[in-house]
Chains A and B, each alone.
Chain A
Amino acid sequence: MGLARSRGMLAAAALAIVCALGGAGCNTYKYYNIHVTFDNAGSMPFTTASAFSVQSCVVNVSGADSSQFRLPQGRCPNMTPGGNVLDPGVFEFSTFADSGNLTFTIDAFQDVTETAACKIGHGTVTLPVSATITTAGDLKIVNTGTSCVTTGNTQGDAGLVVKG
């Protein structure tokens, strides 16, 4: 009994050491803090009005990890009182990936059904996966020029979907 217990403790200690040294089979969280913004520069910059026409922002993660999620309502665009409409803010993505690259892709749609015809913005960023625990990145939503809604110059026009 004593011998078996000693062997078990030795095995656990050895495993802990291996994990501490970053051996296979052990997971370590890596965090990616991605700052999402609407690109207000370039040939087709986002305006406050065009940003307000966005109904849904979908983020796809590919590469060393895969995931898909939507930014919360009222954050993309930023509808908080006194907030910057073109700055949805920062989201955090946690992963156990330990090598390779992580590619974050965001699509901004003018309808909640997220049809391709209503995709008004698109952005992508690729970050390496390394031993760094926290990595920061910027993800800009670039205006694609596509629009399925009529956008005006005022906030009141945002969200109106006129079809047919």
Chain B
Amino acid sequence: MPGIVVVAAAVVAASVLVSARDARADVAFRKKTLAANDTTATEASSSGGEPGGEVEGATDTDAPPPPAKTQYVPQAEDKDKPRDPSLLDQTPAEGQLAAKGKAKPKDTGPPFYQKWQFWAITGGVVIGVVGAVLGGRALWHQMQGGDIQACNPMTFTAGCYGQGR
């Protein structure tokens, strides 16, 4: 009689174990199907492998599916060189601070005509213009033959003719 009880207990235990294994297999199958139909899945998402981790503690076959992944970063995006115009147009805060720091203070000195640099430049320009005009006239005169030699009536008793006469 005790032997029968022991055998019966073993049979019951074995049946319980078999039933539990069937339940895990059912959960794993449904989880894999859900992952295959999920349109939000990415390449980085796992689509296979051992389902043991997720189903290890699952004992209820009606367990809710994992929440959909709403925030992700594409693997090909280069964060160092953004192409988003909103990011490109923005001036870094450091640059703005530097620009503010470089802004020259308003000149509160004497007017420009009271500075020696103004008169030095003005004098140089005037001298340069006068020199250029005089030099240009002299150059043009030389280009036109310069001064013709004087007609000496004692030498050229019959007169002087031609260009410049």
Give A residues with C-beta under 8 Å from B. 1, 5, 8-9, 12, 15-16, 19, 25-29, 31-33, 36, 59, 61, 65, 67, 69, 71-72, 75-76, 78, 80, 88-96
Contact = CB atoms under 8 A, between A and B. Distances in A.
B159 A75 contact: yes
B160 A91 contact: yes
26 contacts: A8-B132, A12-B136, A15-B139, A16-B142, A27-B144, A29-B149, A31-B149, A32-B162, A36-B158, A61-B162, A65-B162, A71-B159, A72-B158, A78-B157, A80-B157, A89-B156, A90-B158, A91-B158, A91-B159, A91-B161, A92-B151, A92-B161, A93-B160, A94-B164, A95-B162, A95-B163
Contacts of B165: 94
B146 interface: yes
Given A1-B125, A5-B128, A67 B143 contact: no
A33 B162 contact: no
A32 B165 CA distance: 13
| Interface majority SS (helix, strand, loop, mixed), chain A | mixed
Contacts of B163: 29, 65, 94-96
A9 B132 contact: yes
Contact of A26 (B128, B143, B151, B156): B143
B145 A91 contact: no
B4 interface: no
5 tightest A-B contacts by CB? A89-B157, A91-B158, A94-B162, A27-B145, A93-B162
Given A5-B128, A9-B132, A94-B164, A75 B145 contact: no
Contacts of B145: 27-29, 96
B52 interface: no
Contacts, number: 86
A91 B144 contact: no
Nearest to A34: B158
Interface in B80-108: none
B135 interface: yes
B40 interface: no
A85 to B, nearest CB: 13
A96 B164 CA distance: 9
Nearest to B151: A92
Nearest to A61: B162
B156 A12 contact: no
Nearest to A76: B158
B140 to A, nearest CB: 10
Contact of A29 (B132, B151, B164): B164
A112 to B, nearest CB: 18
Contacts of B161: 59, 67, 69, 91-94
A90 B156 contact: yes
